[in-house]
Amino acid sequence: MPQGDHLPRLTQAAALFTFAMDAVDETGLVRPLLIPAERPLTVYIDRQEIVTLMTLGQNPEWLVLGYIRNQNLIADLSQIESVTVDWEVGAAAVATRTGQFKAPAKDAPRVVTTGCGQGSMFGHLYDQVSQLQLPDGQATQAQLFSVIDQVREHPSVYKQAGSMHGCALFDLMGDDAGAVQDTPLLRLFIEDVGRHNALDTLSGWDWLQSPDQRVRRPLVYTTGRLTSEMMMKAAQMAIPIVMSRSGTTQMGWDLANRLGLCVIGRAKHRRYLCFAGGHRIVGATQPG
Amino acid sequence: MPQGDHLPRLTQAAALFTFAMDAVDETGLVRPLLIPAERPLTVYIDRQEIVTLMTLGQNPEWLVLGYIRNQNLIADLSQIESVTVDWEVGAAAVATRTGQFKAPAKDAPRVVTTGCGQGSMFGHLYDQVSQLQLPDGQATQAQLFSVIDQVREHPSVYKQAGSMHGCALFDLMGDDAGAVQDTPLLRLFIEDVGRHNALDTLSGWDWLQSPDQRVRRPLVYTTGRLTSEMMMKAAQMAIPIVMSRSGTTQMGWDLANRLGLCVIGRAKHRRYLCFAGGHRIVGATQPG
């Protein structure tokens, strides 16, 4: 059976990203403005209501898949038959191949996190994730600087409308021979109202890739803060290096150290701070 | 019975806000750094587990009260006997006077929002909130500019450690005679890893005030984005004017218009944009 037969069928229900309105500035001048859309999308799996995500709606099918993956609701993509997004009713209907999905116990503890969105998850996930083994993976400083440049130059809804988080998935692998190149390949750039949605959407896209299309040496860049939950999602996606223009928190730092995850924050132009996992940066001056 | 007998007993379990660690910069230099704490706090009401909040831990008892209030879990503060926070076990035990708290139905829809934290809430809340009547309340431009200045000059953990949201509750009432003064009184400034926690903490504090200590003409400033959920919290707190240095979203804007809530964003120095509810700004130049 060819690979494609295992992939879920997806709608392509991208919605309008921005909404035009008139603001009034401090001098009384009317200022036409674009603001980001924010719309509820209720996820059902085999007709059971799972969660309502508040999203920009750029790639809702990938978002739903990534949410399912990162929350560990379904272990294997081949179990999913289809994802059908209908903005008219604000619903994403996920059908499994068996039609027998069992939601996690209703009295399972919920965690509401510090993150921008998708904060809710089941408490045992943290413990599970901190046991994960990340793949090998290193980046050169030249590659890190290139990531910063590429993200800065990428067209974005943020530049139009603000109030948005962006997330990008890079491949550090230069060519099939494995030669290191200074310019990592930007595979996907996603924006959403919350940094969690953006990362989950990358995860959903990544899940759908066939082995030959897969990102071989992944690095994720996010504009958002690197809290514990962002580290958890990176680990679920087997990403060994995460970068951000923002900072981290104590719990995020602690989890990164347990996982051996390389965490680079405050990344701007030719500067950054490595918070954890510095062994994954090659060619950097070592202290001392 | 004096008023005080109705107030819940609270522990005062403020935790350390920052954590010292060593980052390494792009030149290999070790850079000692403070990063914000982020710790799980599981809320129990009458021994039933409600939620786990990821928080800085500045005023956890107020946070718990504000969460209960803004999620509409308990309608009346006098129903709460005590809030006991114990960081050793990461738990906040809330006892009601009857000891008979009933959690919302376990299969009630959950909403995971775009916000920075406390994203989870029950879906019907949105509809309830959009019916609320906000109190009268107007601000002058001079007052708005003073709010911006006061927040900028206020000492903050953010200035030390970054990666944090701040929230401030102001009273626009000048004196008992009701004369307008240009400098609103800053009643409380709260920081947390998520903007939702910070606003909920203000709400908990506000709930505890006796009638004569209450903020009479409230205005809230937040460093965070004004998404729909932030508007909902403001409405639950009967705040008619919200300000932010950041922007809004379509759903936030829509809810503000329904509520007649004044929403002022991009507030910096002597500039701002009024997104909704401009009738609440006095002395502003009107367009045309």
Instruction: Transcribe chain B into DSSP letters.
Output: --GGGGSPEE-------EEEEEEEETTS-EEEEEEE--EEEEEEETTEEEEEEEE--SSHHHHHHHHHHHTTS-S-GGGEEEEEEETTTTEEEEEESSS---PPPTTS-EEE-SSBS---EETHHHHHHTTPPPPP--EEHHHHHHHHHHHHHS--HHHHH-S-EEEEEEEEE-STT--EEEEEEEEEEEEESSHHHHHHHHHHHHHH--GGGS-SSEEEEESS-B-HHHHHHHHHTT--EEEESS-B-HHHHHHHHHHT-EEEEEEETTEEEEEE-GGGEESPPPP-
pLDDT at A228: 87
Q: Residue B286: closest CA among chain A residues belongs to which residue?
A: A28
| B207 closest CA partner among B2, B55, B6 | B6
If pLDDT is split at 50, 70 and 90, which confidence band does B175 have? Answer: low
pLDDT at B17: 84
pLDDT at A114: 42
CB contact under 8 A, B163 and A253: no
What distance in Å separates residue B273's CA from the closest CA in chain A?
Answer: 4
- Alpha-carbon distance of A150 to A154, in angstroms, equals 6
pLDDT at B89: 86
If pLDDT is split at 50, 70 and 90, which confidence band does A260 have? Answer: very high
CB contact under 8 A, A112 and B246: no
More confident residue, A126 or B7: B7
What distance in Å separates residue B193's CA from the closest CA in chain A?
Answer: 6
Query: What single letter denotes the amino acid at residue B175?
Result: D
CB contact under 8 A, A38 and B249: yes
Q: Residue B117: closest CA among chain A residues belongs to which residue?
A: A114
Q: Does A227 touch chain B (CB under 8 A)?
A: yes
Q: Residue B273: closest CA among chain A residues belongs to which residue?
A: A25
pLDDT at B188: 95
* A92-116 mean pLDDT: 70
Contact A203, A230 (CB under 8 A): no
pLDDT at position B7 over 60: yes
**What residues in B contact A284, CB-CB < 8 Å?**
24, 26, 28
pLDDT at A1: 38
Q: Does B77 touch chain A (CB under 8 A)?
A: no
Pairing of strands A241-244, A262-268: parallel
Share of chain A above pLDDT 70, in %: 86
Q: Across all residues in chain A, what is the average pLDDT?
A: 86
pLDDT at position B287 over 80: no
Mutate to test the interface with B, among A27, A44, A113 (most CBs of B within 10 A): A113
* B126-154 mean pLDDT: 91
Share of chain A above pLDDT 90, in %: 59
CB contact under 8 A, B273 and A197: no
CB contact under 8 A, A163 and B228: no
More confident residue, B138 or A164: B138
**What residues in B contact A120, CB-CB < 8 Å?**
110, 112, 119-120
pLDDT at position A285 over 90: no
pLDDT at A90: 87
Q: Does B285 touch chain A (CB under 8 A)?
A: yes
Q: Does B228 touch chain A (CB under 8 A)?
A: yes
Mutate to test the interface with A, among B18, B26, B255, B269 (most CBs of A within 10 A): B26
What distance in Å separates residue B77's CA from the closest CA in chain A?
Answer: 23
- Alpha-carbon distance of A137 to A225, in angstroms, equals 22
If pLDDT is split at 50, 70 and 90, which confidence band does A268 have? Answer: very high
pLDDT at A177: 67
Share of chain B above pLDDT 90, in %: 59
pLDDT at position B259 over 80: yes
Q: Does B40 touch chain A (CB under 8 A)?
A: yes
* A5-12 mean pLDDT: 89
pLDDT at B104: 67
pLDDT at position A83 over 50: yes
CB contact under 8 A, A38 and B227: yes
pLDDT at B225: 87
More confident residue, A279 or B161: A279
pLDDT at position B106 over 80: no
If pLDDT is split at 50, 70 and 90, which confidence band does A121 have? Answer: very low
pLDDT at A26: 92
More confident residue, A134 or B4: A134
* B69-98 mean pLDDT: 94
Q: Residue B263: closest CA among chain A residues belongs to which residue?
A: A23
- Alpha-carbon distance of A239 to A147, in angstroms, equals 15
CB contact under 8 A, A116 and B118: no
CB contact under 8 A, B24 and A274: yes
pLDDT at position B242 over 70: yes
pLDDT at position B112 over 60: no
Contact B114, B217 (CB under 8 A): no
Q: Does B73 touch chain A (CB under 8 A)?
A: no
CB contact under 8 A, B273 and A31: yes
pLDDT at position A2 over 80: no
* B74-83 mean pLDDT: 95
pLDDT digits (tens, 9 = 90+) for A147-202: 999 999 998 877 776 768 899 999 998 666 666 788 999 999 999 988 889 999 99
DSSP A160-204: HH-S-EEEEEEEEE-STT--EEEEEEEEEEEEESSHHHHHHHHHH
pLDDT at A170: 96
Question: Based on the number of CB atoms within 10 Å of its own CB, is B20 exposed (0-12), middle (13-18) or buried (19 or more)?
Answer: exposed
Mutate to test the interface with B, among A250, A281, A285 (most CBs of B within 10 A): A250
pLDDT at B286: 55
**What residues in B contact A68, CB-CB < 8 Å?**
none
Of A31, A116, A161, the CB nearest to B114: A116
Partner A, chain B 78-97, Cβ-Cβ below 8 Å: none
* A123-146 mean pLDDT: 88
Of A40, A197, A287, the CB nearest to B28: A287
Q: Does A57 touch chain B (CB under 8 A)?
A: no
pLDDT at B24: 94
Of B24, B31, B38, the CB nearest to A114: B38
Q: Which long-range contacts (CB under 8 A, 24 or more apart) does B146-151 make?
A: B146/B182, B146/B183, B146/B184, B147/B184, B147/B219, B147/B221, B147/B243, B147/B267, B148/B221, B148/B243, B148/B245, B148/B267, B148/B268, B148/B269, B148/B272, B150/B183, B150/B184, B150/B186, B151/B189, B151/B221, B151/B223
- Alpha-carbon distance of A52 to B282, in angstroms, equals 39
Q: Residue B118: closest CA among chain A residues belongs to which residue?
A: A112
* B33-61 mean pLDDT: 89
A9-18, B89-98, B119-128, B270-279: least confident range: B119-128
pLDDT digits (tens, 9 = 90+) for A51-60: 888 888 989 9
A38-47, A218-227, B277-286: least confident range: B277-286
Contacts of A275 (CB under 8 A, 6+ apart): A226, A247, A248, A253, A256, A263, A264, A265, B21, B23, B35
Contacts of A237 (CB under 8 A, 6+ apart): A69, A70, A202, A203, A206, A218, A220
**What residues in B contact A286, CB-CB < 8 Å?**
28
pLDDT at position B119 over 60: no
